[in-house]
Structure 1
Amino acid sequence: MRSVLIAAGGTGGHISPGVALAESLVDRKDSLGISDVFLHSLIRNKDNPDLKQAPCEVLWHNTPSLSGNFLLLPFRYIFQLLKSWIKFRQLGVDAVIGMGGYSSVPALLYAVVFRKKLYLCEQNCIPGKVNRIFFKFADKVAFSFPPKDTKVSCTWEILGNPLRSKTVPKLALKFSEKWDPKKKKQFNVLVMGGSQGARQINNMVVNLMKHEVIQERFRFRMLTGTALYDEVSKKTKDADLISYSDNMAEHYDWANLVIARSGSGVLSECAAYALPMILIPYPFAKDDHQTANAKYMEANGAAALLEQRDEDESKLFRILDSFAQNPEQLNEMSIRSLECSHVEASTETVSFFFDNTK
């Protein structure tokens, strides 16, 4: 029997698919010969909704980022590293799944030093630095998207980004099945900037709603981010504003179109719901990985890509006006979006890592 540790401690983009894998592992423990499943996450994430609802025990750690007080950092880091390793040994961890990010390093090093099975999940088209370093030590690697300019010597597959069970759609309806021109004159647009919100996207959409033609044809629901909710609410009364939601399925079901950043989690969830996307990548993301993700979806016909750093809404206006004039564009994008989806990514990734026949 094996004990499996999932290192998912960085941002929501690492945590959510890590929890999704934990759900699948817990469901299939007996058939896969697994005794225990653990999540390893930073203590700062204790209020993360996914971790609060985790299907297994969460092991909290306080590993410092590789910055800050240069003189004290090595001692603090080594102390937290050894503390984690002692805990892993006590729990008999003999397989580690790394979801990326600096906070996964203690668990990845444990697997390398003590010669445990090491599996990596990479969410983005351009792999993160930590995963790139540990690719050469991994037994298997699962990619969400085709990796760009990446060489991996071990066994790897493109399986999609694991989705939490509560996010998987009961039925993915294409655009033409949700929007009837005889009954609906407006398109439902879901605006998202990630869990922290995105001031750039919020302000672009607020400016957009000042155009009469946009108000006539589009209805907006904005997930502003908790920190930005008050700011946006003072600027507009023309949209349905939500600071944060733990029930994204409800909003995806409502939407005909999404305006969002291009983190892998958002792309995977929108594709699962056959949603056309207008993607505005975060311009300061490491290695510009969000632009690479967005270009992949654009190349597959599932999204329109808008690359800009300012808050000028004119280009976004032209894209939406084009959709209003020709809704068939949205239906075609919806079909292509669904074709990019990997709804069973969680189950398939677990099988890839732990099914001996794979």
Structure 2
Amino acid sequence: MSAAGPLVLFAGGGTGGHLYPGLAIARALVREAPGVRPFFIGAQRGIERDVLPTTEFPHQLLPLHPLYRKQPWNNWRTVLGGVQAWRALTQLTRNDRPAAVVGTGGYAAGVALAWARARGIPTFLHEPDSHPGLTTRVFARGAQGVFLGFPEASAQLTAAAPGAVYPLGCPIDEPPANHEARALARAAARAEWGLPDEAFVVLVMGGSQGARAINEVVDQWIARGLPRGVALIWSTGRAQAAAYLHRESEAVKVRPYLAPIAQAYAAADVALGRAGAMSIAELCAWGLPMLLVPLPTAAQDHQTFNARATAAAGAGVMLRQSDLSVDALSAQIALWQQDTTLLARMRESAQARARPTAARDIARTLRRLLQLAG
């Protein structure tokens, strides 16, 4: 690496929930401190393998592996990959000492954070979930800054210095800032989707892979007959789309994936989906009440914690996958349709949780703590 402005390493990935916040923070940091040079460290086997080559940032993919909790005999891969990654980081920065390492979670972050600690390099963490992951819990002590997507996570980070915890939210694309702009966006989005303005629009989303359990119930719901006035924008996931494309109609818009997703958020009244941190952050920013069905197999059951926190704040309703049915779904949508006061209150609660400027706020905090020139 050639020496220029300060180098900041971003380490994280494995899933989009750990990679995309890092990208958003890095872009905001470049806007705040144009001389800074973000560099991404990721795993060869994570989502970053496909995403990072499409970005503007230099990067290096390393032979990192997660902890194999259910197959401990495979942890030799984790150890060997960690040693190789440590050596690669040392070689990468031999003549270019980083100003900081920002870990955004997942197994791709742990080695880089440990490597930085061993060299006295400042470390920062971003934790998107309400239940902090292993990497965050291990490295919170001694971090110069721990940025939280859910304020509830701070109760589980007692090792972190109180002044180093910043509940600034999850970095997302900002929606329109005021009611008038949102009303215009809503009308334009519904026109683009071909949906009537008076429809009660439910956005169904299960992430890039979709959510089979949710898709099956929604399919049964459509087969039974949607309630009068209800319309769907249904993101099935690419792998499952073929099974549901025949459900497309004037009231049902079926898409394998929504990218960009802003037009769907703008058109919707409520949402049904999993309880990933980034999705919840975006739904709160758009003021959409949500019916959250946590993924039962999520690591450390973090989606259940996310859903509970969101429900406790009055912004959503949690429904376990084992309780998800056409009757349960119909009952919740009917309640929202009929009780406009409840719906308005939940919208306000969602917006109260929103942190639409999270990327900018985190970047400004990083700039201040690292004393980076603007």
Task: State if a TM-score over 0.5 links the two structures.
Answer: yes
Structure 1 runs of 4+ off > 6 angstroms?
none
Of 158, 172, 182 in structure 1, the residue corresponding to residue 167 of structure 2 is 158
CA distance in 1, matches of 2:167, 2:353: 12
CA distance in 2, matches of 1:353, 1:149: 23
- Which residue number corresponds to residue 254 of structure 1? 267
Give 2:231's aligned amino acid. R
Give 2:230's aligned amino acid. F
Of 15, 19, 24 in structure 2, the residue corresponding to residue 15 of structure 1 is 19
Q: 1:172 touches 1:274 (CA, 8 Å); kept in 2?
A: no
Give runs of aligned pairs for residues 96-175 of structure 1, distance below 5 A.
96-146=101-151, 147=153, 148-154=155-161, 155-163=164-172, 167-171=173-177, 173=179
CA distance 1:123–1:115, change in 2 (3 Å): same
Give runs of aligned pairs for residues 39-118 of structure 1, distance below 5 A.
39-44=40-45, 45-46=47-48, 48-49=50-51, 51-67=52-68, 69-70=74-75, 74-118=79-123
CA distance 1:133–1:92, change in 2 (3 Å): same
SS at the partner of 1:355?
helix
CA distance in 2, matches of 1:137, 1:280: 35
CA distance in 2, matches of 1:330, 1:157: 30
SS at the partner of 2:67?
coil
Q: 1:96 touches 1:108 (CA, 8 Å); kept in 2?
A: yes
Q: Does 1:293 align with 2:306?
A: yes
CA distance 1:310–1:302, change in 2 (3 Å): closer
Q: 2:65 touches 2:77 (CA, 8 Å); kept in 1?
A: no
CA distance in 1, matches of 2:30, 2:316: 35
Cα deviation 1:250-307 (Å, max 9, x = unaligned): 2111111111111110011111111111111112212221111111111121112112
Q: Does 1:322 align with 2:335?
A: yes
SS at the partner of 2:30?
helix
CA distance 1:355–1:16, change in 2 (3 Å): same
Cα distance, 1:237 vs structure 2: 3.7
CA distance in 1, matches of 2:202, 2:140: 39
Cα distance, 1:37 vs structure 2: 1.2
CA distance in 1, matches of 2:229, 2:336: 10
CA distance in 2, matches of 1:81, 1:20: 26
Aligned length: 347
Q: 2:132 touches 2:156 (CA, 8 Å); kept in 1?
A: no
Q: Does 1:231 align with 2:243?
A: yes
Give 2:299's aligned amino acid. K
Please, which runs of 5 or more residues in structure 1 have no aligned partner?
Answer: none
Q: 1:84 touches 1:106 (CA, 8 Å); kept in 2?
A: no
CA distance in 2, matches of 1:185, 1:128: 42
Q: 2:6 touches 2:99 (CA, 8 Å); kept in 1?
A: yes
CA distance in 1, matches of 2:324, 2:291: 15
- Which residue number corresponds to residue 279 of structure 1? 292
CA distance 1:284–1:172, change in 2 (3 Å): farther
Q: 1:94 touches 1:116 (CA, 8 Å); kept in 2?
A: yes
RMSD: 2.6
- Which residue number corresponds to residue 278 of structure 2? 265
Q: 1:23 touches 1:55 (CA, 8 Å); kept in 2?
A: no
CA distance in 2, matches of 1:72, 1:152: 29
CA distance in 2, matches of 1:201, 1:26: 39
CA distance in 2, matches of 1:54, 1:184: 37
- Which residue number corresponds to residue 343 of structure 1? 356
Q: Give the TM-score, by structure 1 length.
A: 0.88
Q: Which moved more, 1:80-89 or 1:345-354?
A: 80-89
Identity of aligned residues (%): 27
Give runs of aligned pairs for residues 183-262 of structure 1, distance below 5 A.
184-212=197-225, 214-233=226-245, 236-238=247-249, 239-262=252-275
- Which residue number corresponds to residue 37 of structure 2? 36
CA distance in 2, matches of 1:47, 1:327: 45
CA distance in 1, matches of 2:158, 2:231: 44
SS at the partner of 1:13?
helix
CA distance 1:227–1:347, change in 2 (3 Å): same
Cα distance, 1:26 vs structure 2: 1.2
Cα distance, 1:29 vs structure 2: 2.0
CA distance in 2, matches of 1:192, 1:249: 13
SS at the partner of 1:309?
helix
Cα distance, 1:185 vs structure 2: 4.0
CA distance in 1, matches of 2:343, 2:53: 36
Cα deviation 1:139-185 (Å, max 9, x = unaligned): 2111111214331332112110112xxx21134549x95599xx744
CA distance in 1, matches of 2:78, 2:264: 43
SS at the partner of 1:321?
helix
Give 1:191's aligned amino acid. V
Cα distance, 1:43 vs structure 2: 3.2
